[in-house]
Structure 1
Amino acid sequence: MTQCVSAHKLIEQSNRKTKMPTSPVALFDNYCENLLRKINYKMNGINIQVNLKQALSKQHQQPANKQTPRIMFFGADVIHPTNCTERFPSIAALVGSDDQLCTMSASRICKQWPDDGKCSIECIVRLEDIVEELLDYNCQLNQGQLPTQIVFFRDGVDDGQYSKVINFEIPVIKNAFKAAYANEKFTPLLTLFVVKKRHHTRFFMCDERSQQTSNIPIGACIDTTIVHPYQPTYYLNSHQVQTDVNHTLLYVCLLNEIGLSIDELQLLTHYLCFTDPRSSAAKAIPSVVHQADLAALKARDLFVDNNNNNERSTVSSGGNDKYYISLENPTIQNITCP
């Protein structure tokens, strides 16, 4: 394995060490710690694990003769070209965890060309194939055992597109389950979230005496008054910023076959924000969603650079071939994030 380090980053850290003699060790140690975390992760090491026993306390209070559920986490995102054009495709990325502790993950990416007359396509066209591939990948790393429960985080969906997720993507995911679990006597239970980053709701605390405002603490969750009256919806602040007001994320649970309580949903989501293998601090979103964002953003380098629609290539012989494009290196499989 080879790890490249930017020289200007090392120089920058050295300059900070000189200018801030009160905390020289901490500054450089943080940089080295993050670097070592990346190296360890690329070598299939474990940096952090999610505490499922604490997050899902009710599920782990099972009778002795009942097997503990095996959980797999998915993160999905679709990014679109900046300008509304048919010349450039959208890029979809899915990330699946290798185990129920969310220590490692693998990703799949594909380009999606829009229909004629449309700017982009929001639904993930190859969703069924990709989910089936990631389930098979998870099975291979867990002694041939498939997960019994799936927690799926879907990013990049607006309010008006919830129906597309419910009517198209959830049935497609279920079809992938039928194919992957054809030789099993069970099919997994699915819990699906929509993660919303683009909203205008902000939360802060106000000191009545000084009339000064400050950010809400890490782990603060708002699930009453301003949320949906009967659908599991909550705002969760899982990270800290040095300046400005924290941008809390909105989570909407569209399907909860696992039957998690609202407290378990919130705690599980919060814990998953701490499982990013590249950082010791919490992220604003669960790690599988963050890795899907990164995979989609960096995916352009892995694809053939076609300048016009006539050069599109296909990856299958199905009726939706025009929506995908082949990888520049078709041998790339099980891309590890990051």
Structure 2
Amino acid sequence: MDIFLRLDMLRELLESTKEEAYKIYKGHLQILLCVMSKRDPGYKYLKWISETQVGIVTQCCLSTYANMANDQNLANLAIKINAKLGGSNVELNDPLPHFEDKGHVMFVGADVNHPGSGNTTSPSIAAVVATMNWPAVNRYAARVRPQDHRKERILSFGDMCLELVKNYARLNNVRPDKIVVFRDGVSESQFDMALNEELLDLKRAFQSVKYMPTITLIVAQKRHQTRFFPEGARDRSSLGNISPGTVVDTIVVHPFEFDFYLCSHYGSLGTSKPTHYHVLWDEHGFTSNHLQKLIYDLCFTFARCTKPVSLVPPVYYADLVAYRGRLYFEAMEGHSPAPTASSSTSSTTSSSLSTSSLDQKFNIFKLHPNLENIMYFV
């Protein structure tokens, strides 16, 4: 059966399910639970159609685990459903350090998903997420856009952030006074790009509407080979790794720049890999202790886990959203992964055409209005 015919059938099925739910229960369909017999390529088609065209939140699970009725599996499923429906799974007891005073704060995460190494035509997918509540900072909205093949710089960074700020203002009747940006996937050689291109683009977008919040830009790196080991039994966890909350900010860090390593998670398997944080721009006057405590506290607010995670949640969510955008593209293509271009194909021309034509003709990355303000991606 032709792939486009099957997509039309899926779209009609979701639309009819949405209409029947409204007739029977006199309300909008909140979530559609899809029990699958196995991991199936249809997953990406379901997500693409439901999230960009129909406007239904979906939750998939495997029948094997559903039939087992294991408490842990059901609990993991429940916290994802609760987060997708707008619920709060975790909230900090104490206020975040350094921001105890009045004024709203927004945390932003940004990442770019690139196609596989053999792919020379598919666009890269840029994703930006931002908190939509203060001081709980546990609800996020996301925006995703395609861009030229293997371009690490987020070309529409300022516009995407401005859109999220406007969304924050609609929900809270006030714009955030302070913004903390966490950027993922940037190496040391690209710090200048993040600082002098993306940050300036962000400031220009804000200035165009006469909005001038204070901004801090932090890069989070996981692609490194640095590991830390406890000196003795007193310093290690029950599994032999360094304890969660361990910070290293001397000797092995840069001699005069503002960077540090933070191991924020429980290492249950293998050797824990800390995250390396670099502060490229700071208008909030963070001290080392305040920023380290702030990031560690944020690691407890990840919606899909009841323990602290290894990466600050805004970056974690941005990675999930960028991957979801990749699924949208693969669904539109009708196969995964995208084909490798022949030697006679111009990769530059192909990538540019892919980005512009897909964004304009198919509009495949535009979320349905029902999902623009919720955490559909967790």
TM-score (norm 1): 0.80
- Structure 2 equivalent of residue 8 of structure 1: 64
Over the aligned positions, Cα root-mean-square deviation in angstroms equals 2.7
Counterpart for residue 230 of structure 2: 205
1:75 shift after superposition: 0.5
Equivalent residue, structure 2, for 1:140: 170
Q: Equivalent residue for 2:97?
A: 55
Taking the TM superposition and a 5 Å limit, the aligned residue runs for 1:38-117 are: 38-50=80-92, 53-56=95-98, 59-60=99-100, 62=101, 68-83=102-117, 85-100=119-134, 101-114=136-149
Given that residues 132 and 177 in structure 1 are in contact (C-alpha distance below 8 angstroms), is that contact kept between their aligned partners in structure 2? yes
Unaligned 5+ runs, structure 1: 15-27, 63-67, 115-119, 315-320
Correspondence 1:167 to 2:230: no
Q: 1:273-314 deviations in whole A, cap 9, x for unaligned?
A: 111112212211111111111111121233443978399477
**Is residue 332 of structure 1 aligned with residue 362 of structure 2?**
no
Letter of the aligned partner of 1:48 in structure 2? V
Say if 1:230 and 1:52 are closer, same or farther in 2 by CA, change over 3 A: farther
Deviation of the 1:52 alpha carbon: 6.2
Give 2:257's match in structure 1, choosing from 220, 223, 231. Answer: 231
Query: What is the Cα deviation at residue 222 of structure 1?
Result: 0.4
Cα pair distance change 1:99/1:161, threshold 3 Å: same
Map 1:241-260; keep pairs closer than 5 Å: 241-260=267-286
**SS, match of residue 151 in structure 2:** coil
The amino acid across from 2:333 in the alignment is D
> Could you tell me whether the CA contact under 8 Å between 2:129 and 2:143 is conserved in 1?
yes
Q: Quick one: percent identity of the two aligned structures?
A: 32
Report if the CA contact (8 A) 1:3-1:39 is conserved. Answer: no
Secondary structure at 2:286 match in 1: coil
Q: Which sits farther off after the overlay, 91-100 or 46-55?
A: 46-55
CA distance in 1, matches of 2:196, 2:365: 34
Task: Tell me how far apart the structure 2 counterparts of residues 54 and 252 of structure 1 sit (CA, whole Å).
Answer: 20
- SS state at 2:87 partner: coil
**Aligned-partner Cα distance in 1 for 2:270–2:366:** 44
Q: Deviations over 1:239-259 (max 9, x none)?
A: 112221001110000011011
Residue pair 1:98, 1:105 contacting (<8 A) in 2 also: yes
Q: 1:233 touches 1:253 (CA, 8 Å); kept in 2? A: yes
Q: Say which SS state the counterpart of residue 290 (structure 1) adopts.
A: helix
How many residue pairs get aligned? The number is 298
How is 1:282-297 mapped onto 2 (pairs within 5 angstroms)?
Answer: 282-297=308-323
- State the alpha-carbon separation in 2 of the partners of residues 331 and 44 from structure 1: 17
Answer with 81-90 or 243-252: which moved more. Answer: 81-90
Preserved CA contact (<8 Å) 2:113 2:326? no
Distance 1:322 1:175 in 2: 27
Moved over 6 A (4+): none
Q: 1:232 to 1:330 in 2, by over 3 A?
A: closer
- The answer for unaligned runs of 5 or more in structure 2 is 1-30, 35-60, 342-349
For normalisation by structure 2, the TM-score amounts to 0.72
Aligned to 1:154: 183
CA distance in 2, matches of 1:194, 1:329: 26
Alpha carbons of structure 1 residues 311 and 54: separation in structure 2 relative to 1, 3 Å: closer
Matched position secondary structure for 2:333: coil
Structure 2 counterpart of 1:18: none
Alignment of 1:166-205 (within 5 A): 166-180=195-209, 182=210, 187-205=212-230
Amino acid at match of 1:3: L
* 8 Å CA contact retained: 1:166, 1:254: yes
Q: Please give the secondary structure, in 2, of the residue aligned with 1:293.
A: helix
Cα separation, 1, equivalents of 2:151 and 2:357: 12
The answer to whether the 8 Å contact 2:66/2:74 transfers is no
In structure 1, the residue corresponding to 2:277 is in which secondary structure? strand
- What letter is aligned with 1:159? E
